[in-house]
Structure 1
Amino acid sequence: MQASKVHILRIEGMTCEHCVKTITEALQARDPAADVKVKLQGGEARVVSSLSSDELIIAIAEAGYGAGLGNN
């Protein structure tokens, strides 16, 4: 098992707290052990997970939002 890493992800398309909840749930569904903090203001997520950034970006995309690497 890989060690957990801090991922900072830039998220596009969030407009409300419902978006924050949707993205948080999508990330936690992909990795239930992840520590997920999504901020509407600033449009970013901080995720501590053993998954790769690419896997997390895919989870966000599947939830209907754009995502990319932030300032790690």
Structure 2
Amino acid sequence: MKQILDVQGMTCGHCEKAVTTAIRLLDPRAEITIDRRQNRVEVDTDQPREALAEAIREEGYTVAG
């Protein structure tokens, strides 16, 4: 299932890698697309949205909604 998250605070490639790693710890097979300019993270996974958001928050980013 494709989910779209609004992630604030990503400013560089390192930020993208941190978010990607956090998601991959939950689902190693997740398909992830990040658009830093739009603060948008698209994830195709079976994991619940709140689990994804919490993993990203633990890396220090804000997830809207």
Aligned positions of 1:7-46 closer than 5 A: 7-46=3-42
How many residue pairs get matched? Answer: 65
Structure 2, unaligned runs of 5 or more = none
Structure 1, unaligned runs of 5 or more = none
Aligned Cα root-mean-square deviation (Å): 1.0
User: What is the letter of the counterpart of residue 60 of structure 1?
Assistant: I
Q: CA deviation at 1:37?
A: 1.1
- Percent sequence identity is 32
User: Which structure has the highest helix share of the two?
Assistant: 2
Deviations 1:32-55 (Å, cap 9, x if unpaired)? 111111111101100000011111
Aligned positions of 1:28-67 closer than 5 A: 28-67=24-63
Q: Distance in 1 between matches of 2:64 and 2:42?
A: 12
Q: CA deviation at 1:68?
A: 2.8
Partner-residue secondary structure (3-state), 1:41: helix
User: What is the letter of the counterpart of residue 6 of structure 1?
Assistant: K
